[in-house]
Amino acid sequence: MKKHFIPFFFLLFLAAPVLAQESFDKKAIVNRLADIMNENYVFPEKGKAMHDLIKSKLGKGDYDDITSADAFAEQLDADLKSIIYDKHIRVRFNKERVTAMQNRAPGGGRTMPENFGFKEVKILEDNIGYLDLRGFMDMRVARKAAKVAMDELIEADAIIFDLRQNGGGSPSMIRFISAYIFGEEPVHLNDFYWRPSDSYSESWTRPSAASVHKPDIPVYVLTSDYTFSAAEEFTYNLKNLERATIIGETTGGGAHPGGPMVINDSFFVNVPQGRAINPITKTNWEGTGIEPHIKTTKEEALEKALELARKALTN
């Protein structure tokens, strides 16, 4: 009897479509996500609209042809943002990240930036301090790095905060850094409204946190269109308190803080649960970003800041 051999690569080809299919319960995911947004999103009417939209699309079969978990997450993300384009909303398929969140891993499984965001601290010519800050990490994990950096930086005669590659982080770091460049009395930086608890909180400097206070030192903040969230809060605070000159590009426009919430063992959503309310402007930078005092390209912003700092120190 003649035997027939099927090439191994052909068997792999036949198996590939089966292996590519990912098992996930769309109905359970949509129902859970709908409830999360309805109960937690900062604007209740928008959260309800998100809830109704994705439940309706599920019922009509609009998600039936999606076979990839990543593609399903992307579609849900787009659907939520079709109600309100909030850049803090993020639906993701990431089993490792969800596991880390469930196990209460530090940072929720996110990769911690080098030296907790303090990429580079140096004193330039003419005793101008420069800090390349890539994130505002929570002080519970970054206190040591923050103190070392700020104790060095504050010895300068002018300071440049480079936030051109800073995507945000924690208000606790904002309060700590700000304490160095204000005086010995607490300064009201920002307020927040929190939808889940229907409550307000205030953010003030804590002068005792800083080893040195220099309320008159010239301060410059460099921005780009990547500057986002907590980096924008820091910028907005200093701009409206008339404590810094902002140089660069208009920022990204995200003023709704929140955090990730688990949908199931593989999907999570970042939910904006609050909104910033500046005590001076009574509003925030959501959707518009922050206009710098001096508009220039992000590439030219540092040189412009150095020019202004040198002028300020010679006057």
Tens digit of pLDDT for each residue in 24-79? 999 999 999 999 999 999 999 999 999 999 999 999 999 999 999 999 999 999 99
Report the half-sphere exposure of 216 (CA within 13 A, side-chain side).
Answer: 2
Which pLDDT score is estimated for 15? 41
> What pLDDT sits at residue 14?
41
Would you state the pLDDT for residue 18?
39
**pLDDT exceeding 90 applies to what percent of the chain?**
89
Partner residues linked to 165 by β-bridges:
none
pLDDT reported for residue 301: 98
- What is the C-alpha separation between 169 and 187, in angstroms, rounded? 20
Mean pLDDT of 269-286: 98
Q: What pLDDT, in 10s, does the model give residues 84-118?
A: 999 999 999 999 999 999 998 766 667 788 999 99
Q: What average pLDDT does the segment 12-22 reach?
A: 42
Q: What's the pLDDT at 109?
A: 67
Would you say residue 216 has pLDDT above 90? yes
Question: Which pLDDT belongs to residue 112?
Answer: 81
Query: 10 pLDDT exceeds 90?
Result: no
Tell me the per-residue pLDDT of 226-252, one tens digit each, with 9 for 90 and over: 999 999 999 999 999 999 999 999 999
Inter-residue contact 292 to 247 (CB < 8 Å): yes
pLDDT band, residue 8 (cuts 50/70/90): very low
Please provide the average confidence, as pLDDT, over all residues in the chain. 93
Q: How many Cα atoms within 13 Å fall on the side-chain side of residue 310?
A: 9
* pLDDT (mean) for 183-203: 98
Which position has the higher pLDDT, 150 or 23?
150
Mean of pLDDT values over 212-231: 98
- pLDDT value for 23: 75
Domain borders along the chain are: 23-85, 115-264+272-314
Position 21 pLDDT exceeds 60: no
Which distant-in-sequence residues (6+ apart) come within 8 Å of 267 by Cβ? 24, 29, 33, 69, 73, 91, 92, 93, 94, 98
The answer to whether domain 115-264+272-314 has CATH 3.90.226.10 is yes
pLDDT digits (tens, 9 = 90+) for 163-186: 999 999 999 999 999 999 999 999
Residues 118-154: b if buried by 16+ CB within 10 A, e if exposed: bbebeeeeeebbbbbbbbbbbbeebbebbeebbeebb
pLDDT at 16 over 70: no
Q: Tell me which DSSP letter residue 113 carries.
A: P
Band (pLDDT 50/70/90 cuts) for residue 192 is very high
